[in-house]
Amino acid sequence: MNYLYSIIISVLVLSSASIVDAKPGGAHDRHQAMYLVNLVRNIDWGNNNVTIGVFGDSPVKSELEALVQRNAKIQVKQLEDFSNVGECDIVFLPDASNRDFFVAQNEIADSPILLVVDKKPLVVRGAEIGFYLEEDKLKIAINPKEIEKTGIKISHTLMEKAATFF
């Protein structure tokens, strides 16, 4: 009886873990938020505060807010449209369509703003940084040519950990 009880509990725990990760605020969103915070740490912003704009209604925004609640240097802003992207240092476009990507890219062209996406092909098309899944692990891709255009200096440590696209 104890053996059967243990199996049932194990199945319930494992199934509830996958359900939690599938919901907004799950592990994938948390990892993306952690990567965004690490971007701030691996870029020389001087003594300035950094604003991360999250486009749309993404659970990544609430994960970011939880991570930076005690860090006055990082602010998180929800972006409903592209009119306020100039107020951000990093713009994150989760689930970006090609149209949204190109509009955002045009809005921030020639400015020191990093465009971060969660689709690897958009990094090849001109986003500075992107997240993607490889073997169920979140990875980061960097387009050094596009980053150079922004004038932002990224640490060598970050460059070494990321896949690069030219």
Q: What are the structural domains, with CATH classification, of the chain?
A: 24-164 (3.40.50)
Name which of 166, 114, 125, 124 is nearest 145 in CA terms. Answer: 166
Asked whether the predicted pLDDT for residue 19 surpasses 70, the reply is no
Task: Return the residue matching tokens 């990760």.
Answer: 21
Instruction: Write the pLDDT tens digit of every residue in 97-121.
Output: 888 888 888 888 888 999 999 888 8
SS3 126: coil
CA-derived radius of gyration, the chain: 18
List the 50-55 sheet strands across, edge first: 74-79, 50-55, 90-93, 114-117, 129-134, 137-142, 163-164
Instruction: Write the pLDDT tens digit of every residue in 63-93.
Output: 999 999 888 889 999 998 888 888 999 999 9
CB 35 within 8 A of CB 138: yes
Separation CA 8–CA 144 (nearest Å) = 50
- Contacting residues for 85 by C-beta, under 8 A, at least 6 apart: 53, 79, 91, 104, 107, 108, 113
Would the CA dihedral through 156, 52, 119, 149 be positive or negative?
negative
Instruction: Using a cut of 0.95, tell me whether the model's pTM lies above it.
Output: no
Range among 33-37, 94-98, 99-103 rated most confident: 33-37
Could you give the dihedral angle defined by the CA atoms of residues 130, 79, 152 and 147, in that order, rounded to the nearest 10 degrees?
A: 40
